[in-house]
Structure 1
């Protein structure tokens, strides 16, 4: 890894200073660091090498300095190119990030020595169909969520799996999660934790107004379709909690396995179950702010 892109969340406390230290440390080891145009301006490095996240064909990997949200947005941007991503936690939980700040330079030595693995994560592809026309299309690493808006009113979501009718959920919303997203909103809504090695999709109703509505796990080759059957409700679909689109009555949201995967760099040989213990029981040493 001698050509490394750097993405960071400019809203995080001390991130600019940390980015400066990181760039200097890498350059001292003869690593070329590439920045986006916005990050060049933020750091005052107009002469730095530049890369675009939608292309990223001039870097070997991308370091993400921030929290899980920054990594999620980077994963969607880099999905088509399949550029490997290494997350450095400056957020709170940091479930997807690999490195904590106190051990950043020590861990990056492993990267430069080639002591790492690349873990591929299944992504979701979703479409919004209105009057038989696709009006929006997007990728997600964690989840696609159909949810009610500002009014405290149930919505009606007619749900199908591979054209087979499942149910019309009366609920606050519906989550379609990837295995990676099973530790996020899916878990908070009562869904199962799923190893990222298992390629499935998880359907989780949010606060359903019925006792029998439970999470449903389906095969990744299937297609999930959700039809909005609410006339007066404010309904939207969100992707990874970041990108949102307002929906209308009879809009269809289809979700399936994407043809792309997110490639995450793993350094320490920790397995999924160790990360579960550390992060979900509060044993991780992530930075806050």
Structure 2
């Protein structure tokens, strides 16, 4: 038998919180990004010169080489005021899942392409970092999802996501059939490439590409977006954040899987259930520049702005 998720408090919006001057920061990086190790060393040196303690899961010497830290894994970040993530959106998504239970404020420094979740660009980095020292920032909470994979009545996998949970077909060009339930009530049977269950944060990711709406992160909701549905009439559906979604893979020979944030996946078998619900933990993003969400939408997704230079 699977465990029913705790629904938690009901609220339809998330308000930002004021920051405080930082005394201890952590740094994680994507080593595959060019120049990330050198940049991490420069940022560490800058903070140390300001009297701020810096913790990293690896030590980076002046020559750019790595050495194991005295404290390994997530424990190194216990009690820090801010965790800086050097990389792109994918790096931030991974880190958010890994430290979700620690409630750490996360500050993204964009070394990727889109950088929609990241707050700082390289050309404005040090003026923005100075604001951490004086508490001139706020913390924006983002809801997360949890998912349980149930095989023959037993929970066989537990997953967390910031953007989305996706049940999708395998590599062959064949559609899958999914029964969808909301709060144990039958909703629909979907035939297509899959189904995206997204948070407001994830509404600008895969769901957007599949025709879903853009949702402000200040709103709490769950977004169901079909992927290439085999029908003339199919629309995304928005439901309350307290509701629970169950997706059942119909017993056919088609391969399918469940993935979170496009990064971690788990193979599904005929009759498997995937139960998705709002997580009790949240991702806390540091916001320094006071940039409005829809300004970021316009700038990052290149929406046309008529009448403005």
TM-score interval, normalised by the smaller of the two chains: over 0.9
Cα offset for 1:58? 3.2
TM-score (norm 2): 0.87
Output the CA distance in 2 between the equivalents of 1:93 and 1:118.
21
Output the CA distance in 2 between the equivalents of 1:96 and 1:282.
17
Q: Which residue of 227, 240, 262 corresponds with 1:206?
A: 227
Which residue does the alignment assign to 2:216?
195
Q: Say if 1:68 and 1:212 are closer, same or farther in 2 by CA, change over 3 A.
A: same
Q: Say if 1:100 and 1:191 are closer, same or farther in 2 by CA, change over 3 A.
A: same
Q: Which residue of 264, 274, 296 corresponds with 1:275?
A: 296
Which residue does the alignment assign to 1:20?
41
Which residue does the alignment assign to 1:99?
120
Which runs of no fewer than 5 residues in structure 1 stay unpaired? 284-289
Which residue does the alignment assign to 1:163?
184
Which residue does the alignment assign to 1:66?
87
Output the CA distance in 1 between the equivalents of 2:132 and 2:70.
20
TM-score (norm 1): 0.93
Cα offset for 1:47? 8.1
> Which consecutive aligned stretches of 4+ in structure 1 deviate over 2 angstroms post-superposition?
39-56
Aligned partner of residue 281 in structure 1, secondary structure: coil
Cα offset for 1:52? 3.2
Q: Which residue of 103, 118, 133 corresponds with 1:82?
A: 103
Cα offset for 1:51? 5.8
For the pair 1:11 / 2:29, whether they are aligned, the reply is no
Output the CA distance in 2 between the equivalents of 1:218 and 1:281.
28
Cα offset for 1:56? 2.8
Between the two proteins, the alignment pairs up a number of residues equal to 282
8 Å Cα contact 1:128-1:136 kept in structure 2: yes
RMSD between aligned alpha carbons? 1.8
For the pair 1:221 / 2:211, whether they are aligned, the reply is no
For the pair 1:259 / 2:243, whether they are aligned, the reply is no
Cα offset for 1:132? 0.7
Which residue does the alignment assign to 2:6?
none
Aligned partner of residue 196 in structure 1, secondary structure: coil
Output the CA distance in 2 between the equivalents of 1:184 and 1:78.
21
Q: Say if 1:128 and 1:9 are closer, same or farther in 2 by CA, change over 3 A.
A: same
